[in-house]
Amino acid sequence: MKNRLKEFREILGLTQEQLGELVGVSRQAINAIETEKFEPSIWLAYDICQIFQCPIEKVFLFEESKRKSRAQQSRGII
């Protein structure tokens, strides 16, 4: 999932480690989200957006993805 996490984090002057501490995850988890290697749970995305005091849609960009969703994978849809 595309996101603007790094941009928002840098505006607040936070390191990955600092943001991770604020939302209860590791620096590595924040890095993986920023580099789109990991999609956060809705709860983690919500917590992150609370730090930035902005709507979730401004940080996480819910576009059509070429990657199959978990629901599609479980149903065997191509």
Whether the per-residue pLDDT at 77 is higher than 70: the answer is: no
Joined tokens for residue 27: 């620096």
Whether the per-residue pLDDT at 4 is higher than 60: the answer is: yes
Contacts of 45 (CB under 8 A, 6+ apart): 56, 59, 60
What pLDDT sits at residue 78? 60
Please name the residue that has the structure tokens 């978990």: 70
Break the chain into its structural domains and give their ranges.
2-75
Whether the per-residue pLDDT at 62 is higher than 90: the answer is: no
Tell me phi and psi for residue 3, to 5 degrees.
Answer: -155, 165
Mind giving me the DSSP string for 25-72?
--HHHHHHHHTTSSPPPHHHHHHHHHHHTS-HHHHEE----SSPPHHH
pLDDT digits (tens, 9 = 90+) for 17-60: 999 999 999 999 999 999 999 999 999 999 999 999 999 999 99
Q: What pTM value is reported for the model?
A: 0.79
The end-to-end CA distance of the chain, in Å, is 19
- Structurally, at CATH architecture level, domain 2-75 sits in Orthogonal Bundle (1.10)
pLDDT digits (tens, 9 = 90+) for 9-18: 999 999 999 9
